[in-house]
Structures are given as C-alpha cells and as structure tokens.
Amino acid sequence: MLEIKPKTPIPEAGKNFDTWFLANTAASWEAYQQAISLTAAVLGECNTRQSQPYSGASPLELAASLAAIEVCPPRAKLLEDILNKVGETVVRHSVAVSHPRCIAHLHCPPLIPALAAEMLIAATNQSLDSWDQSPAATVLEMQVIQWLCGEFGYDAGADGVFTSGGTQSNFMGMLLGRDAYVKSRFNWSVQQQGLPPEAHRFRILCSEVGHFTIRQACAHLGLGEQAVVKVKTDKNYRLSTSALVVELEKLHEQDLLPMAIAATAGTTDFGSIDPLAELGEIAQKWGLWLHIDAAFGGALVMSDRHRHQLAGIAHADSIAVDFHKLFYQPISCGAFLLKDKTNLDLIKLHADYLNPETNEAQGIPDLVTKSVQTTRRFDALKMWISLQALGREGFSQIIDTTIELAAATAQLIAADALLELAHEPAINAVVFRYLPSKVAARDSINSQIRAQLLQQGAAVIAQTRINGETYLKFTLLNPRTTLTDITDILTTIKQLGRELEGQLIA
C-alpha cells in the first residue's frame, strides 16, 4: 500500500472550489509534489514486479479489463485510487522499454534526467509558438538548435526547430525542398499560388530502404507517391550512387524533373548509412536539394569513435534528427535543421494575435514562424537537461556500447548454422532469420517465433521483410542489454523454431 495520501480533492457542489482547484492544477506545488510521489511509487511497484519485458496479455484481455472502468465517471475519484488502477491495468501491461530484453524497435529506454525534465515541461506548460508564451524556453530552444547545427558542421547561416519526430522533420525537408526548387526554377511561390502546373513531373530520389515517411510527405505535399523514385542499394543497404546517376539520366530523358535526394543516415531496418559525401557532390552537380534523414543515425555525432560515419552530412540542405531514439529522450522529441535559414521564409506566416511582424522588427523571436506546428511543447529542455547530466562522454559511452553489442550479436548469428545474418550492422540494428530445414516454412516460422516471444513475454523483438521474405530484427538501444541476454534470446528462438517445425511435421 502507498503511504502518501492526497487531501480529499472532491468538492461539494459550490463549496471548497478553491481547495479543489489547488489540488487539481499546478497552482499548488504541494499537491503537485504529492501527485509526483504517488506516480513514482506506482511506477516503482510495477517495475519491481515486472520481470519480463511484456506481460503477454492479449488485445481482448486488455480490452476487457479496461472496459470495466468507466471512461468518464459521474463523480470525482481519489487520485491515489486512480493511479493504483492505472498501475494494474495500464503500466503492468505496457512494454517495459527499459527492460534489457525489449529490443524490437527504435524505441528507447528514456533517461531519468529527461523524465525529470518532462515534469518541468508539463508543469510550466510553456508554448513555443510565441515569445510571450515561452520567453526563456524560446531562447533555450534556439541555443540547443545552434549547438546541434554546429555538431553537424553547419555554420551561422543555419537554423532549425524542434519537431514531433522524424515524420514531421522529413515532411519539412520535402516541403522546403519543393518550395525552394519551385521558386528558383519557376519563380513561383507555392505558398501563394499553390502547386505549379509542372508539379506532376517532380521527382524525389530515395533508396529502396528509405523511410516510408518520405513517400507519405510527397503524398501530403500534393506530389503523390509517384514522385518518389526508389534507387537500388548495395549489399549493405546503402544507396548505390551509380544506380542513382543512371536514374537521374533516365528521368531527364523522360522529361521528368528530379528536384531532391532524400538520403538516410541510419535506415530503420539495417542502420545503414548512405554515402553522404558522394551524395553531396551529386546533389550539387545536378542542382538537387539534399535532405538527410538522420532520425536514427544522427546521434553518432556524440561518439568520437563513430561520428566519421556521418562525414559529408554538412552538405545536406536539410537534416532530420530524432531525440526519442538514440538520444534516449521520452517521446516525442526531434529536430529539423536547415543549412540556409533564409529558406524558412518560404513557409513564414504572420498571425496578428501571435507573431505580428512588428515583433520581428523589434528582434522578438516567435518560433511559430519556423514550425509547421502552432502550440508546441518545450521538448528542448529535456535534451538540454540530458546533455548537462550525461555530458558528451556519457552519450558517447552509451552509443559506443550499444554499437559494440550489435557487432558482437552479428558475430554470434553469423557463426550459428541455424541462423542467417542479413547484413553487417553499421550501427545498432541486426536483421537475421531462423533457418528451418524446410525452406517453404521459413516465413511462417520466423513470424510465429516473434509472435510467441511476445505472447510469452520472454522478449520483445521485431520482424521485417527483405525481398518479400520474413526476417527477425533486434534494435539494440539499451546499454544494459548484455551478450548473455542475446544468447538466451537466440537459444529461445532456436527452440521455438524447432518446436514449430516439429508441429509442422506432426
């Protein structure tokens, strides 16, 4: 049982409203402190009971247990009771992202300093759209962005903004790339005039393992998915520059209009990093916007040992970085960076109530002019607090450790006759599959292995497809995952594989 009890916050109709309001809003720091202690106690209790990365509960079981609680009860309840209930019904059946055997997606165990920051972010509730809603927060975000720009080799002409993540950052890259191209080539403002008649001929080149949000952005931007031309990769899933040049020549022959390259630094499945420096040269030669999706791999800037893998990234016109992946921030947190900040004028808007032009003339920064969001969280604070708390060295150690673990994991898999490694990992992702004796059963057995691991709660791993065939995937972000964890999971995978094969024959 929890010891801390909040004061009864239920108001009699019309009475004690002031006390009630204090207990239920951040106007009372005492009530806030109690609420935080309660939350931490519930989390602590759930964590100590959670020995597995997942409880194994099915969608139906969860639906039934949650349906038993009325979403909006007629009368107020005690926060302590509510939080205990949430512990039982929600926290206990959440994937334990900090568990060493939760290794499916680019879904990180969040840093404690960042969780502390989240409390400040939520309670101070600053909104990064206008200066008068976030004075210090605005300045701090601008400084974190300037620091990041420097890390990626951009100069003082660069700028950027915090985003909800890679999806929004990729969208902004495609948006500004499109608008800059249309302006320079047709002297046409998409913001004012909409798409020019030539828009259906625009093409964006992206590797065949680039992220789907590039296609999504092109669809949202009125170019259609047809605008994305998929370029072949080499055996390590890096965009092939020779194939790219062939595609560019083909597009010109077909009277189509290539306008941008969307490269990837850290593909979601393989962690592969496209040849950034070469792509910079090609983009310049062909007059293309170069967007680099570094949602996953951008964090390598923090590692002395691995930052060389990003060499050439400074040639990008725009960069997407995610902090809720290899920077270990709670969701959501990302940034969009732009080499030439004057391009932000392409999407600039002024609202009289929020960011009148007079503010700009007075040097008052309203960040809404840089963002596709209006009301926006102060996510920069959690990155800043985390950077202070870990220092460059701390981040570097986590990143190096997890990349080493991925390399060691790949070696184990490559040396095992029952398993097949799909690629040499560039960073933290390892794709492989179990090899049953019956080739025709490969896909279904691998897919069932993953589902059973989740059902048993033994490990949370991912699956993906290569050339239409099913593979398994580990994304190794947790520095507390050991090679013993990996060996155990691989042993279980092989056991399950054999059992499933046996059922097939029986």
Ligand X SMILES: *Cc1c(COP(=O)(O)O)cnc(C)c1O
Residues within the interface to ligand X (CB under 6 A):
106, 165-167, 170, 211, 213, 264, 266-268, 293, 295-296, 322, 334
CB-wise, 266 or 280, nearer to ligand X?
Answer: 266
Cβ-based nearer residue to ligand X, 129 or 322 = 322
CA-based diameter of the chain, in Å?
79
For the bound state, the minimum distance from the C-beta of residue 498 to ligand X, rounded and expressed in Å, comes to 33
Calpha distance 284→314 (Å, rounded): 13
CA distances from 73 to 78, 127, 151, 182 (A): 12, 31, 50, 54
- For the bound state, the minimum distance from the C-beta of residue 266 to ligand X, rounded and expressed in Å, comes to 6
Q: Can you tell me the distance from the alpha carbon of 428 to that of 270, in angstroms, rounded to the nearest whole number? A: 8
Nearer to ligand X, 131 or 296 (CB): 296
State the DSSP code for 465. Answer: E
Q: What 3-state class would DSSP assign to 460?
A: strand
Between CA 41 and CA 254 the distance in angstroms is: 64
Rounded least distance, CB 33 to ligand X, Å = 32
CB of 327 to ligand X, least distance (A): 11
Give SS3 for 233.
Answer: strand
Tell me how many degrees the CA angle 404-410-415 measures, rounded to the nearest 5.
Answer: 130
Q: How far is the CB of 425 from ligand X (least distance, A)?
A: 15
Residue 103 contacts residue 460 (beta carbons within 8 Å): yes
User: Between 107 and 201, whose beta carbon lies closer to ligand X?
Assistant: 107
Cβ proximity to ligand X, 293 vs 485, nearer residue: 293
Q: Which residue, 268 or 481, has its beta carbon nearer to ligand X? A: 268
Distance, CA of 361 to CA of 374 (rounded, Å): 21
Nearest approach in angstroms of CB 475 to ligand X is: 10
We find the least distance from the C-beta atom of residue 177 to ligand X, in angstroms, to be: 16
Closer residue to ligand X (CB): 298 or 457: 298
- List the strands of the sheet with 318-322, edge to edge: 159-163, 334-338, 318-322, 289-294, 257-264, 202-207, 228-231
Between residues 262 and 493, which has the closer beta carbon with respect to ligand X? Answer: 262
134: nearest Cα among 143, 144, 148, 124: 124
Q: Please, what sign has the CA dihedral across residues 328, 331, 333, 334?
A: positive
Closer residue to ligand X (CB): 221 or 449: 221
Backbone region of residue 72 per phi and psi (left: phi > 0; alpha: psi in -120 to 50; beta: other values) = beta
Tokens 């604070």 belong to which residue?
Answer: 381
Residue 170: CB minimum distance to ligand X, A: 6
CA distance 213 to 267: 12
Shortest distance, CB of residue 167 to ligand X, whole angstroms? Answer: 3
Identify the bridge partners of residue 204 per DSSP, sorted by sequence position. 228, 260
Give the whole-angstrom CA distance, residue 395 versus residue 299: 9
Nearer to ligand X, 118 or 366 (CB): 118
Residue of 399, 402, 442, 388 lying closest to 418 (CA atoms): 442
What minimum distance in Å lies between the beta carbon of 290 and ligand X?
A: 15
Nearer to ligand X, 113 or 166 (CB): 166
Q: Cβ 331 to ligand X, closest distance in Å?
A: 8
Q: How near is the Cβ of 283 to ligand X at its closest, in Å?
A: 19
Please identify, using beta-carbon distances, which residue of 113 and 266 lies nearer to ligand X.
Answer: 266
**How big is the chain by its Cα radius of gyration, in Å?**
25
Asked if 198 and 204 touch (Cβ cutoff 8 Å), the reply is no
Q: Contact at 8 Å (CB) between 159 and 152?
A: no
Burial 149-180 (b: 16+ CB within 10 A, else e): bebbbbeeebbbbbbbbbbbbbbbbbbbbbbb
